[in-house]
Amino acid sequence: MFVFRCLRLVLRDVLSQSCLHHFLLEFVGTALFLSASLSAVLIKADPRSTGPTNHSGPPEGPPPSGFVACPLQVVLVFGLSVAMAALSVGGAVHLNPAVSIAMALTLRLRLWRAALYVIGQLLGGVASAALLLGLMGDVAPAVNQVSSGVLLHQAVTVETLITLQLVLVVMVTTELPLPEVATPLLVGLTVSLGHLVAVGATGCGMNPARSFGPAAVTLDFRNHWVSVYAGTHTHTHTHMLTPTHTHKDASYQLMSQSKVDFINQ
């Protein structure tokens, strides 16, 4: 009886307008963010293909591919696009499964809501990759892979560090009395920093939704475990480094109706 009452309350919360609204925001925000950011990896005109052509001599170098990704462009677009998406749909969105799970582990978010948000984020990643697949015909360059010369333990370490610094910044910004527009901008700078560090080694999979979308569309899950394993380490370190949230949020009053304290915030 007790278990059924708990499940009924959880289901009522999951199907509430507030929870479904946040699920939709996570889906739309992640789709916007990744559609813009992944396009930086796929869409970059080769300058050799747009300038005047010299027909008097043989062509210099290999024929232009038409699509060349610039690392600095990728760094800037990822940081700016996550800030844009967060501001567009609301600054309270996570747009990253690692952030949502860390929020749940530090008692800032109910576990079942975090699970629903993660589903929305992963679906948003798949939707953005499918959109770019329809536009470009190929999203294989957007799949995260460990670069040649980079060992797997090095890739896992780098991914863990960049994801950890992102999650910690998000945690701190939720506690500080910052202007509403400041949090997305700080998170965007943190995302750019992570890409500066890791884009050459792993393609920077600090966002599992970013890694999952192209991998699911192309069915190429090689080295996908690197970002998942790094995310697991990140959640462990975040739980140890970040104090649990002690403010009793009004949303947890749902559990008090049955005198069940699921999460002692």
Residue 91 lies in domain: 9-46+67-246
On whether residue 252 sits in a domain, the answer given is no
Whole-angstrom distance, CA of residue 138 vs CA of residue 218:
8
Question: Comparing C-alpha atoms, which of 199, 197, 227, 201 is closest to residue 215?
Answer: 227
The pLDDT of residue 227 is above 70: no
On whether residue 18 sits in a domain, the answer given is yes
**Number of domains present in the structure of the chain:** 1
Please report, rounded to a whole number, the percentage of residues in the chain having pLDDT higher than 90: 36
- Average pLDDT (200-214) is 90
The pLDDT of residue 47 is above 90: no
On whether residue 52 sits in a domain, the answer given is no
Question: Comparing C-alpha atoms, which of 88, 81, 118, 87 is closest to residue 102?
Answer: 118
Q: What is the pLDDT of residue 228?
A: 63
On whether residue 3 sits in a domain, the answer given is no
On whether residue 241 sits in a domain, the answer given is yes
The pLDDT of residue 68 is above 60: no
On whether residue 215 sits in a domain, the answer given is yes
Give per-residue pLDDT as tens, 15-28: 899 999 999 999 99
On whether residue 100 sits in a domain, the answer given is yes
Place of tokens 């992944």: 38
On whether residue 178 sits in a domain, the answer given is yes
Q: Which CATH number does the domain housing residue 186 bear?
A: 1.20.1080.10
